[in-house]
Structure 1
Amino acid sequence: MATIVESSEVSTLLDELTRMTGREDPYPRYRRLREISPIVRADDGALVITRHADCLAVSRDSRLGHIPSHMLDFVSPGWPDHPALKQLFTSILALNPPDHTRLRRLVNSSFTARRVQALGPRIAAMVDELLDRMSGEVDFVEAFAFPLPATVIGELLGIPEPDRAQFQGLVRDWTQVLETHAPEALAVADPAAVTIREYLAALVAERRRQPADDLISALVAAEEDGDKLTEDELLTMAGLLFIAGFETTTNLLANSVVALLHHPAQLALLREDPGLAPAATEELLRYDTPAQLLVRVAWDDVEVAGVPVSGGERIVAYLGAGNRDPERFAEPDRLELARADNAPLSFGGGIHYCLGAPLARLEAQIALPALVKRFPKLDFAGVPGRRDSLAIRGYTNLPIVAA
């Protein structure tokens, strides 16, 4: 049986991933970690895995889960006093069965595949409207990658159009807690969480008085065997759906455009064959995924990546590394839109598989072919601004020539 590797090189590589210089292109560091060992130990005690098979197994293993509620005070002392952490730790992002199972069942009854697929024609119309407004040098994030998913999830939830723009900065502030619980991050994230929750509380109250054909109204009415969402659960769920509904897709769209511009032959292939969009979306998710990692805790003594792991130990699965594993993907550092047998890790797996995955895929499948077809001279207009985050990988701005 193998052993967990600890070394100064491992510490250096993992430390580099906490810095902007390492986050700009983490993939060489992932590759080196994978070469050293399937599983290594970080300085904080967490176990880090980088192989595709191991990441997939961890995402599906019922013996692993999120940090149990009774351990949260050891991880983040005083977390209930921080609105951003309370929003995170009481959401399905951080809950375990049976609480997770119950909430997932209730939201699934409202956030259905049919409701998502019905958005297809409206998404196509939104894409055309946004492309019509783009000309010359524009910031792709501001002009397209943010407003498209924000409009889609806003319409799905029932958030009025004039209110949506304010949420880009608020969500970016809140999602800092996915990376760190440091005081300086909480000082930014907590006010954002309060503002988002207060807005949603007013909207939920309005929908209780006057239901509409939207997801907020459906969540208010959701019931399964006499069980309903409490007010706290409803607000937390609505906030999570809104945050996840555009944050991941904004980054997927921006990451995809950068990847395509760096691979002009692949961009031309998509332009010539829009039917390639479903396969292209999977490859772009694999090549530079917005969600780079997931964290689990071992409930009991188990085996992970071929080594014994004690109960209570944290496992960090680098999904971005698994998506570049040569044991799973031939020439993994090459973008190949028509890649066969492509199953990226980007939306996780098992009971925690991303609720919004079908919506994010649908938006990308419609948007990317339309974008490259509309602008045959699409190109960079400047240096993109990389978001200073590893857990969520994306861009703060992306200057392009829309021509």
Structure 2
Amino acid sequence: MTAVETAPTIRDYDPFSQAVMRNPLPFYERLREEAPALYLPKYDTWVFSRFQDVTDLLTIGDNTFIATDTTLPTPEILASHHRGEVSQLPLEPLPIGAMLGSPHFEVLRNAHIKPFRPRAVRSLTEFIQQLADARLDSLLTQQSFDLTQDYAGHVTAGVICHLLDMPAERTADVLELVNSLSRTDPDSGGTDVPTIIGNCIGMMSEYIAKRREAGADGSVPLIDGLLSLAYYGRPLTDAEVATQLTCVFVGGVETVPKITAHGLMELCNAPEQLQEVRADLDTHVPVAVEEMIRFCAPAQWFARTAHKDVEVAGARIRKGQRVMVLFGSAARDPAEYDEPDRFIWNRKIDRVLSFGTGQHYCIGIHLARLELRILVTSFLRRVAKFSFDLERAVRLPSSFQWGWNELPVVVEELS
């Protein structure tokens, strides 16, 4: 082990460093204890690591913090300082809503939120169950398969295809495109985000054009709501509609598979907990899923830009400076959770930040929970004994998605 790995110091912290990308957890512990509001001069950015401080910052309103420089700026973007000057983004062509403040963000969100509301999500239960069962029918004929991609990834990509009125035959294409965002540069942890997002927009635009031609009658609400939006005094272009849906397209495919695979591995590593969950899957899996969301959520941070001077957790943040909120650290904050570094399936969880909070909380929160419950329950119902081949597991370097890109499961006994 290197000195950084055994005894990380605050001065070593850089979200894009090899040591942090390899394992950010020791750094998070030092940040919470010694510098919960850390200023990084190189990036002119404040980093917040405690649960309550992250919550306080994200719930400040009045357009104080907006993701003007994207929610996931690269080191190059962060190194370009605003020096006190920051302006609103132009609205033509319309940027992604995540980079806009009120009222634009809410208008765009409300235009496509209908399929993510609780009742609409519940109506997808049978469809998602069928996808999971069909996938297991195919995979369980093998002794081993990748739990992240082959199982959960295909199911979540299939759901996104359904919501976008794309043929099921495009499932593998969607999964491959989203996965390409995780194939990071091994040195910087970065990737060619603009090109890949452009490919996502291009793929979706084909089906958006078909919905426009068909009349956008509301039968595909994820698309039709944006096509019918009259707020800007003009129809949105196909590319603008697709741009608004990129968060759904990527987040809806990438996150749940990593939580599913990692969560099942944690249960496998704690046989007594697995036995307790198995005792009543319908009752216990929804409880265990909440701990999986806390403990296994791969998203480590998001960034915002200050549009006015403000003080948070004793830090005086100036207009134009960026802030970085460490969700991965907040999830392990001992001030919020007892024994936070232990996976405890029936832990009492009053609050969780894995889906964000405040104005920009995750639009797919209800769908993600449903998918996780179905994926975990279906697997445990059909597989009596399993283990993991960690020698073939893959966790790619990334400052943002610290999760298992590939996690091969070995099926030892079927139910």
Q: TM-score, normalised by structure 1?
A: 0.84
The CA deviation string for residues 43-79 of structure 1, in whole angstroms up to 9 with x for no partner, is 4221111111001111211153224479x997698xx
**Is 1:252 paired with 2:250?**
no
Which of 204, 214, 230 in structure 1 is aligned with 2:236?
A: 230
CA 1:67/1:122 → structure 2, altered by over 3 Å: closer, same or farther?
A: closer
2:101 is equivalent to residue 96 of structure 1: yes
Are residues 1:66 and 2:66 paired?
A: yes
Cα deviations by residue, 1:274-307 (Å, 9 ceiling, x for unpaired): 2122221221111122221121222222211123
Counterpart Cα distance in 2 of 1:21 and 1:75 = 19
Contact 2:45/2:78 (8 A) holds in 1: no
Corresponding residue number in structure 1 for 2:398: 389
Task: Specify the SS of the correspondent of 1:400.
Answer: strand
8 A contact 1:34–1:51 mirrored in 2: yes
Deviations 1:301-332 (A, max 9, x none): 22111232222221111111111111111111
Instruction: Please give the alpha-carbon distance, in whole angstroms, between the structure 2 residues aligned to 1:261 and 1:61.
Output: 40
Counterpart amino acid of residue 146 in structure 1: G
- What CA distance in whole angstroms lies between the structure 1 residues aligned with 2:156 and 2:271? 25
Q: Which residue of 1 aligns with 2:124?
A: 119
The alignment's C-alpha RMSD in Å is 3.1
CA separation in 2, counterparts of 1:20 and 1:260? 29
Which amino acid is the alignment partner of residue 248 of structure 1? Answer: T
- Whether 2:54 is the aligned partner of 1:50: answer no
Unmatched segments (≥5 aa) in structure 1: 1-7, 78-85
**Residues 190 and 309 (structure 1 numbering): CA distance in 2 closer, same or farther, change over 3 Å?**
closer
Q: Deviations over 1:14-45 (max 9, x none)?
A: 13x53455334322220111111221122422
Please tell me whether residue 22 in structure 1 is matched to residue 20 in structure 2. yes
1:286 matched to which residue of 2?
A: 294
- Classify 1:131/1:240 alpha carbon distance in 2 versus 1 (closer, same or farther; 3 Å): same
Question: Separation in 2 of the partners of 1:172 and 1:122?
Answer: 23
Structure 1 residues 165 and 229: CA distance shift in structure 2, 3 A: farther
1:262-282 CA-partner distances (Å, limit 9, x unpaired): 333222222222212222122
Matches for 1:158-197 after TM superposition, within 5 Å:
158-174=165-181, 185-186=191-192, 189-197=193-201
Which residue of structure 1 lines up, in the alignment, with residue 205 of structure 2?
Answer: 201
The aligned amino acid for 2:66 is H
Cα contact 1:10–1:33 (8 A) shared by 2: yes
- Aligned partner of 1:11 in structure 2 is 11
Instruction: Tell me if the contact between 1:106 and 1:224 (Cα under 8 Å) persists in the aligned partners.
Output: no
Q: CA deviation at 1:220?
A: 5.2
Counterpart-to-counterpart distance in 1, 2:213 and 2:258: 36
Q: 1:193 corresponds to which letter in structure 2?
A: I
The verdict on how the C-alpha distance between 1:338 and 1:108 changes in structure 2, with shifts beyond 3 A counting, is same
Q: Residue 370 and residue 229 in structure 1: after superposition, are their counterparts in 2 closer, same or farther (change >3 A)? A: farther
Instruction: Tell me how far apart the structure 2 counterparts of residues 74 and 29 of structure 1 sit (CA, whole Å).
Output: 23
Structure 1 pair 307–48 and aligned structure 2 pair: CA distance change class (3 A): same
Equivalent AA in structure 1 for residue 100 of structure 2: L
Identity of aligned residues (%): 27
The TM-score normalised by the length of structure 2 is 0.82
Query: Matched residue of 1:255: which SS?
Result: helix
What residue in structure 2 maps to residue 3 of structure 1? Answer: none
- SS of the aligned residue for 2:199 comes to helix
**Alignment check: 8 A CA contact 1:204 1:216 kept:** no
What SS is found at the alignment partner of 1:386? Answer: coil
Alignment partner, residue 81 of structure 1: none
Divergent runs of 4+, >6 A: 224-228
What's the secondary structure of 1:297's corresponding residue? Answer: strand
Please give the alpha-carbon distance, in whole angstroms, between the structure 2 residues aligned to 1:373 and 1:26.
34
Q: Is the 8 A contact 2:37 2:49 kept in 1?
A: yes
**More moved, 206-215 vs 125-134:** 206-215
Q: Which amino acid aligns with 2:23?
A: D
CA pair 175-355 structure 1, distance change in 2 beyond 3 A: farther
Partner Cα separation in structure 1 for residue 266 and residue 233 of structure 2? 45
Work out whether residues 109 and 222 of structure 1, in 8 Å CA contact, stay in contact via their aligned partners in 2. no
For 1:267, the aligned partner's letter is L
SS at match of 1:123: helix
The one-letter code sitting in structure 2 at the alignment partner of 1:279 is V
Aligned to 1:5: none
Q: Tell me the distance in 1 between the aligned counterparts of 2:36 and 2:20.
A: 20
Q: Which residue of 2 aligns with 1:82?
A: none
| Paired positions, count | 380
Deviation, structure 1 residue 224: 6.7
The Cα shift of 1:352 comes to 0.4
CA contact (8 A) 2:114 2:222 kept: no
Moved more, 210-219 or 311-320: 210-219
Structure 2: segments with no counterpart, 5+ residues: 1-7, 81-90
Higher helix share: 1
